[in-house]
Amino acid sequence: MAEHRFISNTEISVPGNVLEIILKYYKEDTLAHKYYFTHCLKVAELAMKVASHNAHLSLDTNFIISGAMLHDIGIIKTYAPEIGCFGTFPYIAHTYLGREILEKEGLFELALVCERHVGTGLSKEDIVNSGFPLPIRDMIPLTTEEKLICYADKFYSKSDKHLTIPRSPEKIRKKILKYGEEKLQQFEIFVNLFGIDYIYS
């Protein structure tokens, strides 16, 4: 059983092995660590708020915290200099790159969160039709925990504006609609499943 550690300024208790993996790829006092850790912590906090609001779903909160803290682990291998990442892959590749990292760490179920959290999920058809540089396979959240992490991630970005302040529902819907009406409909399914208004209270 991994030791849980409380992080200052939050009530989130993160498994020690999760923090160790983050520090293995994101050294403290770097720009990449600042953006990665802040974003993932906000997603984890919101995911737990959503889970608490939906106690009737009997969610695995340990999985949710770990998945939220590790969902973007692959961005360090992408080229996103504005957030301190100087890898060689396009940003969207952080999905399968994150899966590969966590599989090497022996976290096979959490690895799937990395691959399935982008947008409201990517189908094989999405990948082919959009020409994304990704393996051609379905990358769609399946479990309720995966869907919750995917949902919580939509409220925050790694831009300074929404690093710690959640996007409004209108902004989220506008962004998702760029990828098609079907994606917006999937977001509304998440809204109906988890709720939304309480998120801003």
pLDDT by residue (tens digit) across 141-187? 999 999 999 999 999 999 888 999 999 999 999 999 999 999 999 99
Average pLDDT over residues 34-48: 96
CB environment 151-167: b (16+ within 10 A), e (fewer)? bbbbbbbbeeebeeebb
User: What's the confidence (pLDDT) of residue 61?
Assistant: 96
Report the pLDDT value the prediction gives residue 159, as an integer from 0 to 100.
86
Q: How far is CA 65 from CA 9, 61, 62, 75, 193, in A?
A: 16, 6, 5, 19, 19
The pLDDT value recorded for residue 1 is 45
* Residue 80: pLDDT band with limits 50, 70, 90: very high
The pLDDT assigned to 10 comes to 73
* pLDDT of 9: 66
Output the pLDDT for position 11: 77
List, for residues 12-38, the tens digit of each pLDDT value: 889 999 999 999 999 999 999 999 999
- Average pLDDT for 46-61: 96
Domains and CATH numbers, the chain: 4-200 (1.10.3210)
Q: Rounded distance, CA 1 to CA 70, Å?
A: 18
Question: Tens of pLDDT along 99-128?
Answer: 999 999 999 999 999 999 999 999 999 999
CA distances to 22, 88, 162 from 27, in Å: 8, 19, 23
Q: What is the pLDDT of residue 6?
A: 64
